[in-house]
Structure 1
């Protein structure tokens, strides 16, 4: 089974959603799906160096008070799910194009999910700037990539075309928000759904795969 996750590493609902998908998969221990990260940039026009976090939130949500209300909902949801989150530590909202490149490097070695986890932790728990090249290389190294290899790759054009193609595909599919999970390129589930919401699609994808193999 193939599960394609369209998501962005600065999206708190993607952070929560990834955790919930993992919990759902634990309910189906016999499954061994390929969970493939697909790049989606929430802010494709973000300056390369990112921008100051409070200004970004005020612009996005129409004011500081509304941003605080939304952050409270996010924090409460993460707490209920047992996920650490420290939004107050985040000082800059980065451009995530380079982060998606590192995840694709991980995908090629079967550790894309681990790279995404390292980036989520760096951003939402430690409040680090995951647009910074050294921070990206450190996250890659945490997941199993080579630190210097990641830095060298980011200095070139490795995975640039792949990230652009994935983001373009998402928009061609009509995705305007993430996370979105696509099962066997046939069924989609959008949003940070509860773990139980994944189970029917997991079962359906397995059933159809079994039926096709029997034909």
Structure 2
């Protein structure tokens, strides 16, 4: 079963969804499931270098709504093992380069780890994941070749590919993240509970097994 998770590296619900997915895969065992992370930019209009996060959030949601949403996310995050430290985040970055790094990490066999690293660095450490220095540190933490990553970041490598994948997700009808796309056919939107994901895995893997038996009988 192919499981593609469409997410953004600065989406707190995606971080919660990642933790819940990890729990689900541990509960299920993850057998016969191939996992890949796909890009989605919640706001591609943010300029290179990012913007002041507090001003950005208040303009987008209003001060009171932003504060209330942050409190809700903190509570759910704690239940998932995340300590959100929104007060440490100074910049809201453009996430294009972080998505490029996630893609390259897939080639390096450490994509799932890289997604975790970027979420942690942004939401718990307050680091700017639009900064090349932070992305290079993340690459080093994941065991990637930092000099190769540095060279790729300085070029336009895969920028258009990321934009096309983002556009494809929207063409599929995805408007919110995280979204779980199974075998390019079924989509579940939102940070699903681990038990819900396990039931979905069991149901679809059973269907695949039945279809395989039918095809060979």
TM-score, normalized by length of structure 1? Answer: 0.95
**Runs of 4+ that moved beyond 4 A:** none
1:47 partnered with 2:47:
yes
Q: CA deviation at 1:161?
A: 2.6
1:93 & 1:64 partners in 2: Cα distance? 16
Secondary structure at the counterpart of residue 180 of structure 2: strand
2:97 paired with 1:98: yes
Pairwise mapping of residues 84-95 of structure 1 onto structure 2 (< 5 A)? 84-95=83-94
- In 2, Cα distance between the equivalents of 1:109 and 1:132? 21
Deviates more, 1:205-214 or 1:135-144: 205-214
Q: How far does the alpha carbon of each residue in 1:170-200 deviate from its partner, in whole angstroms, 9 at most, with x for none?
A: 1101111100001111221110111111122
The answer to whether the 8 A contact 2:136-2:150 is kept is: yes
Can you give the 5+ residue segments of structure 1 that lack an aligned partner in the other structure?
none
Measured in 2, the distance between the counterparts of 1:17 and 1:191 equals 7
- Map 1:26-45 to 2 at 5 A: 26-29=26-29, 31-45=31-45
Counterpart of 1:82 in structure 2 is 81
Q: How many residues align?
A: 214
* TM-superposed deviation, 1:30: 5.5
- Cα distance, 1:142 vs structure 2: 1.1
Residue 171, structure 1, aligned to residue 163, structure 2: no
* More divergent stretch after superposition (83-92 vs 7-16): 83-92
Provide Cα deviations, 1:100-155, integer angstroms capped at 9, x if missing partner. Answer: 00000011122111111110011011000010001011112211212222111000
CA distance in 2, matches of 1:20, 1:69: 22
Structure 1: how far apart are the matches of 2:59 and 2:17? 25
Cα distance, 1:91 vs. partner?
0.5
Shift of 1:15: 0.3
1 CA distance for matches of 2:130 and 2:138?
11
Cα gap change, 1:30 to 1:5, in 2 (>3 Å): closer
Find the counterpart in structure 1 of residue 2 from structure 2.
Answer: 2
CA distance in 1, matches of 2:205, 2:12: 29
Q: Which moved more, 1:33-42 or 1:194-203?
A: 194-203
SS at match of 2:147: helix
Post-superposition offset of 1:84: 2.3
Match of 1:143 in 2: 142
- 1:187, 1:201 within 8 Å by CA — same for their partners in 2? no
Which residue is equivalent to 2:159?
160
Preserved contact between residue 118 and residue 140 of structure 1 (Cα < 8 Å): no
- What is the rounded CA distance, in whole Å, between the counterparts of 2:83 and 2:149 in structure 1? 27
Match of residue 197 from structure 2: 198
Match of 1:67 in 2: 66
By how many angstroms is 1:25 displaced? 1.1
